[in-house]
Amino acid sequence: MRHARSGTLALAGALLATGCLQEAQPDYSGVFTGAQGEWVELGHAFGPSTIYWPTDTLGFQLTELAYGHTEGGYFYASYSFASAEHGGTHLDAPIHFAEARLTTDQIPLSSLITTASVVDVSASADADPDYLLSADDLVAWEAEHGRIADGTALLVRTGWSSRWNDRTAYLGTSMTGPESVPELHFPGIGTDAAQWLVDNRDIAAIGIDTPSIDYGQSSDYRSHVILYSDNIVGFENLTNLDRLPATGAGIVALPLKIEGGSGGPLRIVGWVPGG
């Protein structure tokens, strides 16, 4: 995997730049105490209101197995849960849309713990719910912020996460079931942008604050296919991307490690240098 090592090196470089690491005597404490930066939640919690693809009508299910004080005198709580891999804030493993590519458990940590760059197209998405991130957007972003680093996670901010508490506004439809899919409206990543990234850059992961890498009106999910065929990892239904800078942040994105899985529920956080 061509970017497997570069992402780790890039994140190490970012930590060195903030003084969190010293070549002679590594000191990571400032990263974890908050003294050298801020940790930011980039995902939504899972619960009864979690948004799933409209063909998945079961959603997230949490079943109480035990709750209360026991005969032994101690309190005890236990639940079982059920969830599709691709609902709420979740990871797409490349095999989700690309045969013989990485499954969830095969994804290297260097694709999940790495530096992050944020491309903000929220103004365009606010004007057009079907907006597509374009190759021109990426070229313009690089003209302002510099080349997208090898091994980084490229996060696309559309501002759509502000609609999370309104399912209809977030998906573009209140319908459920197969007939709802043609009615979806939310921004995504254009196929020209996806192809440009594969042909010209070496990113480890791609993320977005909408339900899908492809926009709502997609019928062939071509951006998924292009990106995942290159073993690029996907993050969907992100939030708080406005709290990350365009460059210089890091992410830790650890999904449920499902053997042979095509994705999974994701706890993802960002790290913003500072302090």
Q: What is the CATH number of the domain that holds 140?
A: 3.50.30.50
Q: Cα–Cα distance between 132 and 164 in angstroms, integer?
A: 20
Predicted pLDDT at 70:
98
**What's this model's pTM, rounded to 2 decimal places?**
0.92
Q: 130-168, pLDDT tens digit by residue?
A: 999 999 999 999 999 999 999 999 999 999 999 999 999
Q: Which residues, at least 6 apart from 226, have a Cβ–Cβ distance to it below 8 Å?
A: 191, 194, 195, 198
Q: Is residue 146 part of a domain?
A: yes
Q: Is residue 93 part of a domain?
A: yes
pLDDT value at 182 more than 90: yes
Sole residue written with tokens 């409209």: 54
Catalytic residue among 3, 44, 90, 96: 96
Q: Is residue 1 part of a domain?
A: no
Q: Cα–Cα distance between 181 and 190 in angstroms, integer?
A: 18
Q: 193-202, pLDDT tens digit by residue?
A: 999 999 999 9
- Residue 3 a catalytic site member: no
CA 221 to chain centre: 17
Average pLDDT, the chain: 93
**What is the domain count for the chain?**
1
Predicted pLDDT at 31:
87
Q: Is residue 255 part of a domain?
A: yes
pLDDT-derived band at 5, boundaries 50, 70, 90: low
Q: Cα–Cα distance between 250 and 101 in angstroms, integer?
A: 25
Kind and range of the H or E run holding 200 = helix 191-200
Predicted pLDDT at 33:
86
Predicted pLDDT at 146:
98
Predicted pLDDT at 26:
77
Please tell me whether residue 178 adopts helix, strand or coil conformation: helix
Predicted pLDDT at 34:
82
Domain of residue 47, residue span: 6-273
Predicted pLDDT at 21:
52
Q: Is residue 68 part of a domain?
A: yes
pLDDT-derived band at 269, boundaries 50, 70, 90: very high
Predicted pLDDT at 1:
53
Q: Cα–Cα distance between 133 and 119 in angstroms, integer?
A: 9
Q: 215-260, pLDDT tens digit by residue?
A: 999 999 999 999 999 999 999 999 999 999 999 999 999 999 999 9
Average pLDDT over residues 100-105: 98
Q: Is residue 148 part of a domain?
A: yes
